[in-house]
Structure formats: C-alpha cells, structure tokens
Amino acid sequence: MEEIIITSKFIAYNTIEELPVEIQDLFKQATAAQKNAYAPYSKFRVGVALTLDNGKIILGTNQENAAYPSGLCAERVALFQAASNFPESKILKMVITATSENSNSNLPIPPCGACRQSIAEYEIKQDSPIEIYFMGEIGRIYKSESLKNLLPLIFNKKLL
C-alpha cells in the first residue's frame, strides 16, 4: 500500500483592489453579466468573463430550467460560446462571481464538478492552463493557475 498526497495551491486576495487592473475589469464585467442570469428557481446568479488570446472577452451567465438539470452553468455557457465563435483561440483567464438572493455569498464560489470537467477539457485541448479567479458577492478572491488545482485527477481521453 502507498499513501498518495495531492496538494493544491491557490493565491488568496482580500479585496478586489489587490488584483491586477485587467482582472478587476473582468470581475466588473462578470458582475454586470449576472443581471442577465436566468435563475428563477435557485435565486443564485453567476457571472463569468473569459479572456481569449485574440483579445476578446466572452461573458456567460447561468441559465436555469424547470426541468432540472436542463439548464447550464455560467462557466459552460461562456466556454461553449468561446469554442463556438473562436475555435482556434485559447482561453487565458476565467473569472467567476456569484450572488444569492437567499443569503450573503461571502465565500469564494468555485466551479461545480461538471464545469470543472468542461474547463479541464479545454485546458487539455489547448495544451495550456487557464487561470481561474473566483469569488462570491463579497469577500476574498481565490486564484488558481490551472484547473488542475481544482480537479487534480482529471478524467480525460487518455483514460478511455
């Protein structure tokens, strides 16, 4: 038997003002995009902004549906939009922000499992990491240099 220890490294920022200006701007855009979320059931609105290597910024919001789980998370909305409209471009950065009408979102809100797998797919496809920043409505911001910090044992095509 062997014990395997896997560690993850994140950078934590206490305020949005500590972030590079470029990332602050992405958070402003992601927060503004939250208003377009369709979240009548969960009352949990998520906004995402992606930066592509061609300079484009892609926004995404969660889109719910009464026939769960037919909706889509904001992360996948943005990823699929980027891949559909700019298939040759690499995704460099992703920022995620969330707010809830039911409670204060003061903890960093990471992507769900399905979104982690989708982000992993794009990191593998483009053969380069995607920086991921995430926060709640207020509070600390976490930065991960790659999805591998959030999903260290990635399921990928090599395993099929």
H/E element holding 81? Answer: helix 74-85
- Interval 13-25 mean pLDDT: 97
Distance in angstroms (rounded) separating the CA atoms of residues 38 and 30: 14
Residue 37 in 3-state DSSP?
Answer: coil
From residue 18, alpha-carbon distances to 58, 133, 140 in Å are 23, 13, 10
Give the model confidence (pLDDT) of 36-75 as tens digits: 999 999 999 999 999 999 999 999 999 999 988 889 999 9
| Interacting residues of 29 by C-beta distance below 8 A, sequence separation 6+ | 47, 49, 57, 59
How many Å apart are CA 160 and CA 151, to the nearest integer? 18
Residue whose C-alpha is closest to residue 28's, from 51, 58, 49: 49
19-23: average pLDDT: 97
Domain 11-150 has CATH 3.40.140.10: yes
As separate numbers, helices (DSSP H) first and strands (DSSP E) second, the chain gives 3, 6
Catalytic annotation, residues: 75
For residue 12, list its beta bridge partners.
Answer: 142
The pLDDT of residue 158 is 81
| Structural domain spans, the chain | 11-150
The predicted pLDDT at position 60 comes to: 98
Q: What is the structure's pLDDT at 73?
A: 97
| For range 11-16, the mean pLDDT | 96
pLDDT digits (tens, 9 = 90+) for 78-108: 999 999 999 999 999 999 999 999 988 889 9
**pLDDT class of 28 with cuts at 50, 70, 90:** very high
- Whole-model pTM? 0.94
CA 2, CA 15: separation in Å to the nearest integer? Answer: 41
Q: Does residue 146 register a pLDDT over 90?
A: yes
What pLDDT sits at residue 70? 86
Indicate the residue type of 137.
E
Q: Report the candidate in 121, 139, 142 with the shortest Cα–Cα distance to residue 131.
A: 142
- Overall average pLDDT of the 128-135 stretch: 97
Supply 74's token pair: 């904001």
